[in-house]
Each structure stands twice: as structure tokens, then as C-alpha cells.
Chains A and B, each alone.
Chain A
Amino acid sequence: MSALETNAMNQDPILKVEHLSMRFGGLMAINDLSFEARRGDITALIGPNGAGKTTVFNCVTGFYKPTMGMISMTQQSGKTFLLERMPDFEITRDAKVARTFQNIRMFSGLTVLENLLVAQHNMLMRASGYTILGLLGFAGYRRAKEQSIEIAKHWLEKADLIERADDPAGDLPYGAQRRLEIARAMCTGPEFLCLDEPAAGLNPRESLALNELLRSIRNDTGTSILLIEHDMSVVMEISDHVIVLEYGQKISDGTPDEVKNDPKVIAAYLGVEDEEVEEVIEEIEEIQESDGEQGGKH
């Protein structure tokens, strides 16, 4: 892909969040948040605990109805969906937004393969004529079934789970369950994939494999990704665009490098008062300079 094309793609936002607010009783979990995720990008949503990241996710995927604001998703075909008006299952089915969960939600009594087949429910339902044609044994359903197993196989290979396809999902180790959840979300054929802390609880090797998987999802299928992550090695490594939340508000927005050096972000993560931010930045700059000098010497 040439740089020009990448730029052209990047200018086109796939998800637009405008003035989003979410109130739980007296608590303003998200306060007037606006951001964009560009098509073909891996966008990371970071912030300290309780900043409202998962709430943003739940609003985008329809599990919460926002108090205020607009969330619009534009598909490749140019079709636009207003996600805040849609029930959760329609967001996945029609708007093609898939998600995973912070605490993994597997169908633990179903096999790994069945998990991926459940994800293709809507496609198979249509192919089976809403069960009736399928019960009568029409060939169209049989073809769709074979195709669905091929899709499942493809994602099992990607997620390195093909060996365990016939084992119950609940029997997989934690890291494999994380990968399976991503593979399952991909089987719904999404254009936009929301991952809630995909690297949580992974060891460094698994974390690296996850980076590979996410990159290949983006490059091979063109799926845009929005992810919440605490593991900075993942965030800085793979994301094209980082949004930082604190207390339900956006405090920074840019490339990983820009965000890394944003004083507000540093202050938020170090937990200092606003007045002290300047001092902290000066200190950091001094440290960085001395680092640079040292680097030059060696």
C-alpha cells in the first residue's frame, strides 16, 4: 500500500463520536467526549483506571444507551449508522461493529469450532431460510455450512487454535481464550472491531503474538480496530492513533509519540496536581536531555 493511499484512507473516519455523555445517577462517567477513529487505523483508548474507557465501549457497541451525544459509523460502502439509536445485536449484525469483553465471555460448554459457528449465526440463518429450508435439507444451507466452517478454520489458523478446534472453549488456557474471543468477533465479519483490554493477563510472548494477530487483522481484512489497553508495549507498538481519557474527558489525542510526550498525559498517569504539571515537565525534559547526552557519549 503506497503512502498516498494510506493517507487517503486515513482521512476517512469510520467512527465518529460527538459530544458523548453518559451519566450514572450522579456520576458523570463520560463528559462531552468527541473523537474519531479513522478507517484502517488501530486506535487505542487509554487512561487511568475509572477514566470511562469501558463505558465508551459499551456506548459504541450499544450495551449502554448514552445520555447525550451522537455516535456514527460509516461503512466502506458509504452507509452510515447512528449507533446510539440501535439495539446492541443490530450494531453487530447491521453496522458490522464487533466487540470483545474485558472479562472473557466464552461459550465455555461449546467447542472452539462451535463458538466460531455461533458467531456466523446471521449469515447461516439467512442461508437456512430461517431454519425452515435447512430443516428440509436444501443444498443452499449445506453450502453455507461448509463455507462457515472454512471461515472458522481460517480464523482458527490465524489465532493458532486449529489443534484445539474440537475441545470445549472452557478448557482453553487464558491466553488462548483471549485469542478465541477475537477470532469469534472476526467471524461476524466486522468492519470495526472493538477490543476491551485484549492483552490483559497475557505473558510477554502471548502479548507479542497478539500484536501480530491484530496487525494481520488490520492489514489482511482492512478491519479498523479500537482497543482499550493498559499494556503500553502493546499500545505504543501497534496503534496508529491514541486517545487518552481522564475522568470521562479527552485529555490528549494524536500519534503514540505525540501522546507519550504530552505533559497532560504524563501528569494524569503520574497523578500530579494541575499546578505542578509544569514542574514535572521540566524535570522530565532534564532527564530526557541527560539521557540524550549519555546516549551520545556511548
Chain B
Amino acid sequence: MATTTYSNESAAGNLTARALREGFYAGLVAFGLFFLFVGLETTQNIRNELVLNQRWGLLAVFVAVAAVGRFLGVLFVQPWIAGRKAARAAAVDKAAPETFLARNFSKIAILVVALMPPIAVALFGVQGSLKWVDNFGIQILIYVMLAWGLNIVVGLAGLLDLGYVAFYAVGAYSYALLSQHFGFSFWILLPLAGILAAFWGMILGFPVLRLKGDYLAIVTLAFGEIIRLVLINWTEVTRGTFGISSIPKASVFGIWSFDVGAPNNFAKVFDLPMSSAYYKIFLFYVILALALLTAYVTIRLRRMPIGRAWEALREDEIACRSLGINTVTTKLTAFATGAMFGGFAGSFFAVRQGFVSPESFVFLESAIILAIVVLGGMGSLVGIAVAATVMVGGTELLREMTFLKAVFGPDFTPELYRMLIFGLAMVVVMVWKPRGFVGSREPTAFLHERKAVSGSFTKEGHG
């Protein structure tokens, strides 16, 4: 007894000593790092002279944060993590029974999303709901749909596409130009935009099909940039960087219009006060339906021979060829299907903004969509939807954090830190879950029971 107590005590003593030591070193390193960066500041005074300011207080804060943080980390956080890890290893045999929420997650999520506009209207009033429906709802759903579309190409077929935004642009400009020049309605142009984007997907697909991996990624990246540059420079048609404005609004299948002057204006017909919120709520349901269509088609296609061939292509292309699968047409269909959904989303984007310009279709958009697919877990619809909500919703949420101005001063604009936080979140998620939120894969057919395939067996594809 005595010995164990003694050893426990000495272990605790050792830990405290180690924490103190490491805290001291962390402080020392922080001092070395920040001495010049933070401790000294050069500014220009009114006579344009360089003045050296000394900020020892701030430096002390930095060093103290590092030292105390390391001390607490070693003393409390590390043992806590180790304890949890041990507990989890012990509990690994006891598989937790699936809760009701886990089993019906997607159904509940769809229901919540579908009920969001009425709830927002009830809580914040018609005008107040605008922010939630438009900035959060529609914005997130556009990215969910884009990511689900890209998921077909990257997640299922394993073809790394860095130029996905090109198809989004094709869809947007198809709607913008055709509606302005020919006066077609949204409901005619929506499928047409999808078809045109799919057609461009095939045009891109043909030359790049021989390429694999990094080479494919580079060529798709170039394709995305080509489309953007064409949009900028073909000024007679696209009006270049000015973009195309006053794009006609969509109507409820021609029955009710949202144009203010129209006799069948939605608000007038139902005797409601005039507000742009109705149009946004209508658009919310349109993009929700489009996103659900994407999900439904993806789920159906995965169970079809073509979907299985896509996944087989991701796993091993040579084996696919040895089984008589025409890999060229298989890749082309993946590209075209993914592009088609990008086109749908693009025409929706145009109708929502009422304005398109090449500014909206930069590489960063492609990168964000790809990041959402990777973070969500390649191939997993639920994971991707969660990732889109967290990433896009999170960055939108930054705009709401005006209280931070009280902390960091009136010049502080939290949304400028969007990409920084986005990047940090990506690093954290990739360390914590390298295969994305949902790393496992649902098999498309089963004999005895449906068992999820662990992410350690699936491959990312070679190109």
C-alpha cells in the first residue's frame, strides 16, 4: 500500500515538475519568436520618421499565454486525453446501439431544413426571416448541391476535378444570356442549362481522359480558368467584367410572379404586405428540391451498374478494363453527370442573384467545393451536407459576430478571417478524421446484411 501511494505521489510530482519545465520552455520559445515581431514595432510619425515603439506589455501577454497554456496542457489536458483514449479502447467491444436520431438522421435533417422558412418567419417576422432564409439557407444549400454534384466526379469516380466551377459558370451564363435574349423562363432554362453544362463536361472529358492524378487535376484547373477568361474577354456576348445584370426572376411555374409590377404578383394575389422575402422563400424551396434531386439521383445511380462502375474505377482502373468495362465512356458519364448538376446550380445562382459576373467563378470557389467534398467524406452525401453546413454556415455566422468588435476594437471585421478559420478548421478535421466526417461507405447491394465498408479499404482514385 505504502509503496503505491508513494509512487502515485511521485508520479504526480513528476508531472507537475514536467509541466513547469515545459511551460518554461514554451515561454522561452515564445519570447524568442515574438521578441522582434511583437515586442518592437516600427511606425512613421508625422514627419515621416521611423519610430521604434516598445510593447513589452503585449510581449509579456504573448509569452504568458504560451507558458501557461503549455503548463495547463501538460498537467491537465494530456492526461485527460490519454484517459479518454484508454476508456475508448476498453469500450471498443461494446458497440453502442444505434439511437433513433442516428438511424433517421437524414430524414430528420430534411424535415428540419424544409420547415426552416416557416419557423424563421414565425420567429423573426417576414422581413427578419430574409437573413436566415437567404444568407444561411439558400447559400448553404447551393454549396450542398454543388458539393453533391462534384461528389459524383471526385467521390464516386475518383477523378480529381479542380475546375468544377466552370460548369457552375456555364449554367449561370446559360440562364442569364438565354433568358435575356430569348425570354425563356427559368423552368425551361433550368434543364437546358444542365444539358449545356453536361455537354461542356463531355468536351472537357474527351481530351483529359488519358490523364491521371495530378495531370488530370492540373488540366481541369486550366479548364476552369479558360472558361472564366473567356467570360471576361468575350465582351460582345458576356459584357466582360461588368457582368450581366437584371436577369429575370423565376416564377412559380408561371402561375404567380414575383415581379413587383405584375398583376399576378404573389403578394398581391394573397393580399400580403409587399416583401422580397416571399421570393427568397420560394427560391429556398427550389434549391432544396434541386439538392434533393441531386441526392436522389446519386443514390439511385450508385445502385445502377454505371454507379458501381464509377466506384470500381476509383478502386482500380486496370481491373475495370479487364472486366470489359469501357473506362472512357464511364469517365465521361461521371464528368457529364457531375457537370449537369453544376449547371443546374449555376442557373439557380443566376436567378437568385439577378446578376452574374466572372468574379463569382474564381478558382477559390472550386477549391471550397472540393474542400467540402473531402471534409465531408468522399462519396458520403450526409457527411458532405454536414461539411457544407459547417463550412459555409460557419463563415456566414462570422458576419453575425459583431460582439467581437467590443473585444478587438471597432476596426475588427470578423468575416475577413473567413479563410483563416476555414483553413484551420480543415486542418483540424483532417487530423481528427482523415477520411472526412463520414469515412465509411454504404455497400450498394448485400446478400446477408448491410455492413458499412470502413474507410481504410476504400481508395481515393488515381485520376
Question: Restricting to A59-101, which residues have a CB under 8 Å from any CB of B?
Answer: 61, 63, 88-93, 98-101
B323 proximal to A (CB < 8 A): yes
Residues of A contacting B446 in the complex (Cβ-Cβ under 8 angstroms) = 111, 113, 165-166
A202 proximal to B (CB < 8 A): no
- Is the CB–CB distance between B324 and A93 below 8 Å? yes
CB distance from A156 to the nearest CB of B (A): 8
Which one of B309, B321, B327, B450 contacts A166 once the chains associate, using CB atoms below 8 Å? B450
Residues of A contacting B161 in the complex (Cβ-Cβ under 8 angstroms) = none
Residues of A contacting B297 in the complex (Cβ-Cβ under 8 angstroms) = 135
B392 proximal to A (CB < 8 A): no
Question: Restricting to B181-227, which residues have a CB under 8 Å from any CB of A?
Answer: none
CB distance from B72 to the nearest CB of A (A): 42
- Is the CB–CB distance between A125 and B459 below 8 Å? no
- Is the CB–CB distance between A124 and B305 below 8 Å? yes
- Is the CB–CB distance between B327 and A89 below 8 Å? yes
Question: Restricting to A165-198, which residues have a CB under 8 Å from any CB of B?
Answer: 165-171, 184-185, 188
Q: A101-B319, A105-B319, A121-B324 are in contact. Are A111 and B308 (CB under 8 A)?
A: no
Which one of B309, B327, B445 contacts A113 once the chains associate, using CB atoms below 8 Å? B445
Q: A108-B459, A128-B305 are in contact. Are A118 and B445 (CB under 8 A)?
A: no
Residues of A contacting B312 in the complex (Cβ-Cβ under 8 angstroms) = 107, 110, 118, 121
Residues of A contacting B453 in the complex (Cβ-Cβ under 8 angstroms) = 109-111, 168
Residues of A contacting B321 in the complex (Cβ-Cβ under 8 angstroms) = 63, 88-89, 92
B78 proximal to A (CB < 8 A): no
* Most chain B CB neighbours (cut-off 10 Å) among A119, A167, A184: A119
- Is the CB–CB distance between B449 and A166 below 8 Å? yes
Residues of B contacting A225 in the complex (Cβ-Cβ under 8 angstroms) = none
Q: A108-B315, A109-B315, A171-B457 are in contact. Are A135 and B304 (CB under 8 A)?
A: yes
A131 proximal to B (CB < 8 A): yes
Which one of B301, B447, B450 contacts A153 once the chains associate, using CB atoms below 8 Å? B447
- Is the CB–CB distance between B316 and A106 below 8 Å? yes
- Is the CB–CB distance between A109 and B457 below 8 Å? yes
- Is the CB–CB distance between A107 and B316 below 8 Å? yes
Question: Restricting to A115-155, which residues have a CB under 8 Å from any CB of B?
Answer: 117-122, 124-125, 128, 131, 134-135, 149, 153
For the complex, what is the distance from the CA of A98 to the CA of B322, rounded to whole Å?
7
- Is the CB–CB distance between B459 and A119 below 8 Å? no
CB distance from B262 to the nearest CB of A (A): 37
For the complex, what is the distance from the CA of A166 to the CA of B443, rounded to whole Å?
8
Closest to A99 in B: B322
CB distance from A83 to the nearest CB of B (A): 13
- Is the CB–CB distance between B304 and A109 below 8 Å? no
Interface residues on A, range: 35 or more
B94 proximal to A (CB < 8 A): no
- Is the CB–CB distance between A166 and B304 below 8 Å? no
Q: A105-B322, A153-B447 are in contact. Are A131 and B457 (CB under 8 A)?
A: no
- Is the CB–CB distance between A114 and B308 below 8 Å? yes
CB distance from A269 to the nearest CB of B (A): 30
For the complex, what is the distance from the CA of A93 to the CA of B441, rounded to whole Å?
29
- Is the CB–CB distance between A188 and B324 below 8 Å? yes
Which one of A63, A110, A162 contacts B315 once the chains associate, using CB atoms below 8 Å? A110
Closest to B314 in A: A109
Residues of A contacting B457 in the complex (Cβ-Cβ under 8 angstroms) = 108-109, 168-171
B306 proximal to A (CB < 8 A): yes
For the complex, what is the distance from the CA of A280 to the CA of B315, rounded to whole Å?
50
B127 proximal to A (CB < 8 A): no
For the complex, what is the distance from the CA of A118 to the CA of B302, rounded to whole Å?
12
- Is the CB–CB distance between B441 and A121 below 8 Å? no
- Is the CB–CB distance between A149 and B443 below 8 Å? no
Residues of A contacting B451 in the complex (Cβ-Cβ under 8 angstroms) = 111, 166-167
- Is the CB–CB distance between B304 and A106 below 8 Å? no
Residues of A contacting B324 in the complex (Cβ-Cβ under 8 angstroms) = 89-93, 121-122, 188
For the complex, what is the distance from the CA of A166 to the CA of B445, rounded to whole Å?
8
- Is the CB–CB distance between B319 and A168 below 8 Å? no
B134 proximal to A (CB < 8 A): no
For the complex, what is the distance from the CA of A118 to the CA of B444, rounded to whole Å?
11
Closest to A104 in B: B319
Residues of B contacting A171 in the complex (Cβ-Cβ under 8 angstroms) = 457
Q: A131-B304, A149-B445, A166-B448 are in contact. Are A109 and B323 (CB under 8 A)?
A: no
B325 proximal to A (CB < 8 A): yes
Q: A89-B324, A188-B323 are in contact. Are A168 and B305 (CB under 8 A)?
A: no
- Is the CB–CB distance between B308 and A118 below 8 Å? yes
Chain B 282-306 interface 0/1 with A at a Cβ cutoff of 8 Å (1 = within): 0000000000000001001100111
CB distance from A131 to the nearest CB of B (A): 5
For the complex, what is the distance from the CA of A149 to the CA of B315, rounded to whole Å?
21
Residues of A contacting B333 in the complex (Cβ-Cβ under 8 angstroms) = 131
B50 proximal to A (CB < 8 A): no
Residues of B contacting A109 in the complex (Cβ-Cβ under 8 angstroms) = 311, 314-315, 441, 453, 457-459
CB distance from B7 to the nearest CB of A (A): 43
B260 proximal to A (CB < 8 A): no
Residues of A contacting B445 in the complex (Cβ-Cβ under 8 angstroms) = 111, 113-114, 117, 149
- Is the CB–CB distance between B454 and A168 below 8 Å? yes
Closest to B316 in A: A105
CB distance from A239 to the nearest CB of B (A): 22
For the complex, what is the distance from the CA of A131 to the CA of B453, rounded to whole Å?
25
Residues of A contacting B449 in the complex (Cβ-Cβ under 8 angstroms) = 166
Residues of A contacting B309 in the complex (Cβ-Cβ under 8 angstroms) = 118, 121
- Is the CB–CB distance between A184 and B323 below 8 Å? yes
Q: A93-B324, A109-B311 are in contact. Are A165 and B447 (CB under 8 A)?
A: yes
Chain A 241-264 interface 0/1 with B at a Cβ cutoff of 8 Å (1 = within): 000000000000000000000000
Closest to B309 in A: A121
Q: A109-B315, A110-B453, A114-B444 are in contact. Are A92 and B306 (CB under 8 A)?
A: no
B40 proximal to A (CB < 8 A): no
Residues of B contacting A93 in the complex (Cβ-Cβ under 8 angstroms) = 324, 326
- Is the CB–CB distance between B304 and A134 below 8 Å? yes
Sample 13 A-B pairs with CB under 8 A, ordered by A number.
A100-B322, A101-B318, A101-B319, A105-B316, A107-B316, A107-B319, A109-B459, A117-B444, A117-B445, A118-B325, A121-B309, A128-B304, A131-B305
Apart from A63-B322, A135-B301, 5 more pairs, CB < 8 Å = A107-B319, A109-B453, A109-B458, A111-B445, A114-B308
B interface, CB within 8 angstroms of A: 297, 300-301, 304-306, 308-309, 311-312, 314-316, 318-327, 333, 441, 443-451, 453-454, 457-459
Closest 7 CB pairs of A and B: A109-B458, A92-B324, A93-B324, A124-B305, A107-B315, A170-B457, A105-B319
